[in-house]
Copies of this chain bind each other. A is one copy, B any other.
């Protein structure tokens, strides 16, 4: 071969960046075999030059000045693992204009600026790969765009946020409160000091926007995703779920019915034998339904420095293979369709409702007649006494209805004399209907 090594600059040298350096070093042989020539991480942009670092990054030249990387004519590829949105976008735009290929793990950036970065890259004939931005170590973007390229995907359901899955798993298995488990997750490093983006569902929503854009070949923005987080989930909800054979997960759903889309992230109840129900702790999984292939599922670590670094380096391998064959700049496909979204009355699903009601004659019939008036029937129903005197708890799982009807029904339900509070309400997926 005898060609010079492919040279890479890193923006960011935290845990993922360090993982990238060590994988590239440890797997040098295999990588060179695939790319046709060796690869070296030459430089890294860091915040502090003199921070103590592991010996694996000894061979990497450190700089605090991004120009040292963006303007270095020897660098073929820039790997972005520093995070951030607007400034980072400007750095990557500059890198693309300097004809450097980009690999990024940044879902915030890709959910917001992906389309514009990909367009610029196509114009400049360079690659932008971002496998690590969704579901860490699971090569789900490739699977959707290549492995299932022949099929028409109708539905994707994913556990795409490890922090919330960890919290819900522990709450449910160990019968602990949300606050208690969140605190533990922060101590263990599974949740950030400010957990808002995770627990409010924003992080998952960004990933669903990326998945939906690729899976449906239509531009889905973060603002198109209806989002609800897990901060109001109570131990009681989890307890009733279990009794009803259901498991709660923070689920991202992206559906397409006759060309109309629905993308949302919310706490969702699944039958306990659903493949996603057994995905525990910080693991992620994406369930994909295709018209022809039927049901498939892809499971793996959703985060962590080495799994994420694996996805980054696999992208680097793709860039290197493209360089070898001189076909960079074609990887990203422009969406084929416009994104047309469903109205509320087209969004079908089952619902779980937990009510506190007065325990007296007529309560039950006034509730059931309200549901009957809205033509919403019950799949399951539980009534239990509450500790408070003359109060009872009712748990309902409806058959399939639509969101518009459901919303009106809930408003009227809240006004009923006999109903004290609607304690909680969740979407139910994957049931019998």
Which A residues are closer than 8 A to B by beta carbons? 19, 23, 26-27, 29-31, 33-34, 131, 137-139, 142-143, 146-152, 217, 273, 275, 278, 290-301, 304, 306-307, 309-314, 316-318, 321, 324-325, 327, 330, 333, 336
Contacts and interface: CB of A to CB of B under 8 A. Distances in A.
B299 A150 contact: no
Contact of A295 (B294, B301, B313, B318): B301
Contact of A293 (B149, B151, B217, B300): B300
Nearest to A29: B336
A139 B143 contact: yes
A31 to B, nearest CB: 7
A306 B151 CA distance: 10
21 contacts: A30-B336, A33-B217, A34-B149, A34-B333, A137-B294, A138-B296, A150-B309, A150-B311, A151-B313, A273-B278, A275-B299, A278-B278, A292-B306, A292-B307, A294-B301, A294-B304, A295-B300, A297-B298, A298-B299, A325-B325, A325-B330
Contacts of A278: 273, 275, 278
B150 A23 contact: yes
Centre residue among A31, A297, A324, A333 by max chain B CB count within 10 A: A297
A290 B27 CA distance: 12
Contacts of A293: 137, 300-301, 306-307, 310-311
Given A139-B143, A150-B312, A293-B301, 12 more contacts: A23-B150, A26-B152, A27-B152, A34-B333, A139-B147, A148-B314, A149-B317, A150-B316, A293-B310, A295-B300, A297-B299, A298-B299
A86 B357 CA distance: 74
A134 B275 CA distance: 21
Given A34-B333, A137-B294, A293-B301, A310 B29 contact: no
A392 B103 CA distance: 63
Contact of A142 (B146, B152, B311, B336): B146
Given A34-B333, A278-B275, A150 B317 contact: yes
Contacts of A29: 336
A294 B307 contact: yes
Q: Which 3 A-B pairs have the closest CB atoms?
A: A139-B147, A150-B313, A296-B300
A88 to B, nearest CB: 23
A35 to B, nearest CB: 10
A18 B295 CA distance: 21
Contact of A31 (B142, B150, B296, B330): B150
A259 to B, nearest CB: 12
Contacts of A151: 23, 27, 310, 313-314
A131 B317 CA distance: 20
Nearest to A142: B147
Nearest to A299: B297
B33 A310 contact: no
A314 B142 CA distance: 12
Given A151-B27, A294-B304, A318 B34 contact: no
Given A310-B148, A336-B30, A137 B19 contact: no
A296 B31 CA distance: 21
B147 A217 contact: no
A146 B297 contact: no
Contacts of A149: 30, 34, 313-314, 317-318
Contacts of A324: 330
A142 B317 CA distance: 13
Contacts of A295: 300-301
Nearest to A31: B150
Given A296-B138, A300-B297, A30 B217 contact: yes
A200 B296 CA distance: 27
Nearest to A284: B296
Contacts of A292: 19, 23, 306-307, 309-310
Given A146-B318, A275-B278, A336 B33 contact: yes
